[in-house]
Amino acid sequence: MLDTKTLLYNTRSRKVEEFVPNEEGRVSMYTCGPTVYHFAHIGNLRSYIMEDVLEKHLRFVGYDVKRVMNITDVGHLSSDGDTGEDKMLAGAKREHKSVMDIAEFYTDAFRADCEKLCIKWPDVVEPATNCIPEFIHMIEVLLEKGYAYVAGDNVYFDTSKLDQYYVLSAQNEEDLQVGVREDVEEDTNKRNKTDFVLWFTKSKFDNQELKWDSPWGIGYPGWHIECSCISMKHLGEYMDIHCGGVDNIFPHHTNEIAQSESYTGHKWCNYWFHVNHLNTKNGKMSKSKGEFLTVSLLEEKGYDPMVYRLFCLLSHYRKPLEFSWEGLDNVVAVYDKLIKRIANLTEEGSVDEAAVSEFEKKFAEAMGNDINTSSAITVLYDMLKADISDMTKRKLVTRFDEVLSLQLTRAWEKEEKCADMELTAYVEKMIEERKAAKREKNFARADEIREELAAKGIILKDTREGTLWSMK
């Protein structure tokens, strides 16, 4: 472990706190995954990029991280409350496909976007539809413990049973009154306005394509229950960090805490990490509003996805970020200059291990200051300017890029790839020449070729399939 502290803003305590995991050296981390009814927009991906650097920072300083993410393929209604149509069903209707086809297509598309943006795929990724028995079990326990009730054939969580419901935000009940928030309709089954659905039955949405048998009738789970159950299935009842965009704070994460802590009877997750929104001039970029930009669209316009990643890393995750084409163009120039500068680092000099440790510490401190990615990038520039050998710089660029994932070493990799291709072409030419020499019974020349290659560390092996080669 590096000898450095990580400070994180915790939405639950509303303070910047030192991060201390439950188990020494290990971190359990959960991320709310995408609702796979459409492509992810670059706003969603801002959240995933910033969560990715958080995870990579924790690994960089030496933690063993296990990260879990759900895929929402059922139960997320068009309103974050319990009203409207299931988003998946709306997506299926829009494209005249089945819900499962839509889910598979957009999960793959999301994974491809993550690859393009160098976002590491979490260790465990679980679709909600895989875990119906777990959801039913948790709901049964909540009913047994008196935290839930059945009304109008749906199962609801009873928020009046909690000492404190709004643990993450200072929301008040007035805000939830019908007509004040446009997406809140009155559900007469609810005992309290803040109650939320754990299990829907056909009484509510008869046309739901995906439904399962349950003790309360054929139906499907509410959205919030999936994250509580999927995280506990893989990370147990105590979790270190839960991530998401700020729009998840209420009601989604508030409801996750309500049901998880009522189920376990103890505090569930210690740190809540929320990424602020990517906005357009007209407000939050959102899938439902239909006005959204995708990674593919950026590529079509000629932007390298790494430029968007850098655009995100240059601002702090807790601040709203306004997207503009001019802003992105400025980052194109910054990225090109940075890549060129790194490409020019030679393989001269030896690695100064003391300088490596010193800069690694500075970098970890910048990142550890509430994931201050822009100051971590400043450390990168300071390091490139420092009076240390190019080989030391190369090593540090490689280390920093384990966290930044900006493909900073792409120029050298190209060089290495070219060198590999040249080597292959050379060896193959020599093998052909040796074959010809043997055909002409010029065994002296054939041996000479074998020796010439051996001197370069290339070993030949004659097999029935032909001559194979490998490096010593």
**Residues making contact with Zn ion (CB under 5 A):** 32, 227
Rounded to a whole number of angstroms, the minimum distance from the CB of residue 260 to Zn ion is 11
7-10 vs 15-18, strand pairing mode: antiparallel
**CA 208, 209, 214, 218 torsion: positive or negative?**
positive
Q: Which is nearer to ligand AMP, 83 or 467 (CB)?
A: 83
Torsions phi, psi for 388 (to 5 deg): -130, 165
Q: Quick check: bond before 320 cis, omega within 30?
A: no
Rounded to a whole number of angstroms, the minimum distance from the CB of residue 42 to ligand AMP is 8
Q: Which residue is nearest to ligand AMP (CB)?
A: 245
Interacting residue ranges for ligand AMP, rule: CB under 6 A: 32, 34-35, 43-44, 46-47, 72, 244-245, 247-248, 275, 277-278, 284-287
* Chosen from ligand AMP, Zn ion, none, partner binding at 204 (C-beta under 5 to 8 Å by type): none
> What b/e string do you get for 41-54 counting C-beta neighbours within 10 Å, with b at 16 or more?
bbbbbbbbbbbbbb
Q: Which is nearer to ligand AMP, 252 or 434 (CB)?
A: 252
Rounded to a whole number of angstroms, the minimum distance from the CB of residue 248 to ligand AMP is 4
Q: Which is nearer to Zn ion, 272 or 317 (CB)?
A: 272
Residue 347 DSSP SS3:
coil
Q: Which is nearer to ligand AMP, 243 or 383 (CB)?
A: 243
Rounded to a whole number of angstroms, the minimum distance from the CB of residue 169 to ligand AMP is 14
Residue 287 DSSP SS3:
coil
Residue 36 contacts residue 88 (beta carbons within 8 Å)? yes
* Chosen from ligand AMP, Zn ion, none, partner binding at 227 (C-beta under 5 to 8 Å by type): Zn ion
Q: Which is nearer to Zn ion, 43 or 305 (CB)?
A: 43
* Chosen from Zn ion, ligand AMP, none, partner binding at 210 (C-beta under 5 to 8 Å by type): none
Q: How far apart are CA 58 and CA 60, in angstroms?
A: 5
* Chosen from ligand AMP, Zn ion, none, partner binding at 433 (C-beta under 5 to 8 Å by type): none
| Residue in 235, 254, 226, 185 with CA at minimum distance from that of residue 74 | 226
Alpha helices in 344-409 (DSSP H): 353-368, 373-385, 390-404
Q: Tokens standing for 300?
A: 């079509």
Rounded to a whole number of angstroms, the minimum distance from the CB of residue 235 to ligand AMP is 18
* Chosen from Zn ion, ligand AMP, none, partner binding at 43 (C-beta under 5 to 8 Å by type): ligand AMP
Rounded to a whole number of angstroms, the minimum distance from the CB of residue 35 to Zn ion is 10
Rounded to a whole number of angstroms, the minimum distance from the CB of residue 149 to ligand AMP is 27
Q: Which is nearer to ligand AMP, 198 or 246 (CB)?
A: 246
Rounded to a whole number of angstroms, the minimum distance from the CB of residue 334 to ligand AMP is 22
Rounded to a whole number of angstroms, the minimum distance from the CB of residue 227 to Zn ion is 3
* Chosen from Zn ion, ligand AMP, none, partner binding at 46 (C-beta under 5 to 8 Å by type): ligand AMP
Neighbours of 89 (CB within 10 A): 20
Name the DSSP class of 370: T
Residue 194 DSSP SS3:
coil
Q: Tokens standing for 434?
A: 């040796």
Rounded to a whole number of angstroms, the minimum distance from the CB of residue 125 to ligand AMP is 14
* Chosen from ligand AMP, Zn ion, none, partner binding at 208 (C-beta under 5 to 8 Å by type): none
* Chosen from Zn ion, ligand AMP, none, partner binding at 368 (C-beta under 5 to 8 Å by type): none
* Chosen from Zn ion, ligand AMP, none, partner binding at 251 (C-beta under 5 to 8 Å by type): none
Q: Which is nearer to Zn ion, 77 or 446 (CB)?
A: 77
């063993």: which residue's tokens?
64
Q: Which is nearer to ligand AMP, 6 or 35 (CB)?
A: 35
Q: Which is nearer to ligand AMP, 137 or 181 (CB)?
A: 181
| Residue in 417, 142, 437 with CA at minimum distance from that of residue 265 | 142
* Chosen from ligand AMP, Zn ion, none, partner binding at 408 (C-beta under 5 to 8 Å by type): none
Residue 133: C-alpha distances to residues 36, 138, 215, 236, 268 (Å): 21, 9, 11, 16, 21
């189920």: which residue's tokens?
263
Q: Which is nearer to ligand AMP, 79 or 286 (CB)?
A: 286
Rounded to a whole number of angstroms, the minimum distance from the CB of residue 31 to Zn ion is 8
* Chosen from Zn ion, ligand AMP, none, partner binding at 58 (C-beta under 5 to 8 Å by type): none
26-31 vs 15-18, strand pairing mode: unpaired
Neighbours of 396 (CB within 10 A): 24
Torsions phi, psi for 200 (to 5 deg): -95, 145
Residue 221: C-alpha distances to residues 88, 202, 203, 346 (Å): 13, 12, 14, 58
Q: Which is nearer to ligand AMP, 224 or 287 (CB)?
A: 287
Q: Tokens standing for 171?
A: 């929301």
| Residue in 71, 57, 68 with CA at minimum distance from that of residue 31 | 68
